[in-house]
Amino acid sequence: MSEQQRDLVGHGARPPHAAWPGGARVAVSLVLNYEEGGEANVLEGDRASEGYLHEIVGAPPVVGGRDLNAESMFAYGARAGFWRVHRTLAAHGAPLTVHAVGQALDRNPEAARAMAAAGWEVAGHGWRWIDYREVPEETERADVRRTVATVRRLVGRRPVGWYTGRTSPRTRRLVAEEGGFLYDSDDYSDDLPFYTEAAGRPHLVLPYSLDANDFKFLIVHGFTNADDMLAYLVDTFDVLHAEGAERPRMMSVGLHPRIIGRPGRIRALDGFLRHLARRGGAWVATREQIARHWLATHPPQG
């Protein structure tokens, strides 16, 4: 319970000047959460089917059995949605960070090869797409290592970033103890990177976003159509762009193959990338690029 202390002050009224490359006002991080094949399923020994973030909003999990509808909705992300996102990003030449669930990546090596060929950063996202709060520490530690090994084998280089999402109180420490990571993104508390302490040393955090995120298509009172998401992304960027005239900011956009990869939603991503090109002032970068820039420009003190 006490491994991570709350910080309600952060950078305060005068955050550091990010000094993004090219004088950009906003560093924009596009993130694709690749989870399809790692979700809850009784075939994996889970007690119930997956009941979270699929198209039948609010449907209870099937306890002790399979939910073939939910399974096929997740499969859509791997079979079709991923490739629609891949084509859209390729058309814009936009860089991307993948939060990759190890087991999901292992079950679609062709997608992993496509990520590598596109030059995308592939970060760790747990071995399974599960809640790690009740997972024993040694199991979670082993899952971090297994995910690192799987990404290295399939993508050709180990992950330097981490995002579990549904963390345990130990997650950040375990990531720091594993070593080899530049940052983690299990945080939503700021518009800029910051340092905290983990495993007794400074540790870089790149905050993520659940508001500028396509998962809101699959929650009550969230996005209804592509225009809803596009308007929200544009509004978010434009406010950060205005603030960035004095103090540059960072913006994260969360995506999922099974969600934004649907034909009726992909226009939100395409439209947002078009807006960035017209508006200017954006540095669209991987999270690794942002982390390396921050570490060089604002190294930890002490």
Residue-range domain boundaries for the chain: 21-297
Percent with pLDDT over 70 in the chain: 99
* In the predicted structure, residue 202 carries a pLDDT above the cut 60: yes
| pLDDT value at residue 219 | 92
Q: How far apart are CA 72 and CA 81, in angstroms?
A: 12
| pLDDT value at residue 6 | 87
Position 302 confidence tier, pLDDT thresholds 50, 70, 90: low
Position 2 confidence tier, pLDDT thresholds 50, 70, 90: low
| pLDDT value at residue 3 | 73
- Name every residue whose Cβ is closer than 8 Å to that of residue 30 and which is 6 or more positions away in sequence: 89, 94, 95, 96, 97, 253, 255, 284
97-100 and 282-284 strand pairing: unpaired
Position 56 confidence tier, pLDDT thresholds 50, 70, 90: confident
* In the predicted structure, residue 83 carries a pLDDT above the cut 70: yes
Beta bridge partners of 100: 34, 124
Q: How far apart are CA 210 and CA 260, in angstroms?
A: 14
Summarised one tens digit per residue, pLDDT across range 160-186 is: 999 999 999 999 999 999 999 999 999
Give me the helix-helix angle, 171-178 and 137-155, nearest 10°. Answer: 50
Average pLDDT for residues 254-260, to the nearest whole number? 98
Reading the block at residue 196, the tokens are 């905290």
Average pLDDT for residues 132-137, to the nearest whole number? 94
Summarised one tens digit per residue, pLDDT across range 88-132 is: 999 999 999 999 999 999 999 999 999 999 999 999 999 999 999
Average pLDDT for residues 185-204, to the nearest whole number? 96
Q: Which residue would you say has higher pLDDT here, 76 or 56?
A: 76
CATH fold of 21-297 reads: TIM Barrel (3.20.20)
Average pLDDT for residues 181-201, to the nearest whole number? 97
* In the predicted structure, residue 1 carries a pLDDT above the cut 80: no
| pLDDT value at residue 301 | 87
Summarised one tens digit per residue, pLDDT across range 204-246 is: 999 999 999 999 999 989 999 999 999 999 999 999 999 999 9
H runs (alpha helix) in the chain: 68-76, 82-92, 102-106, 109-117, 137-155, 171-178, 226-243, 266-279, 287-297
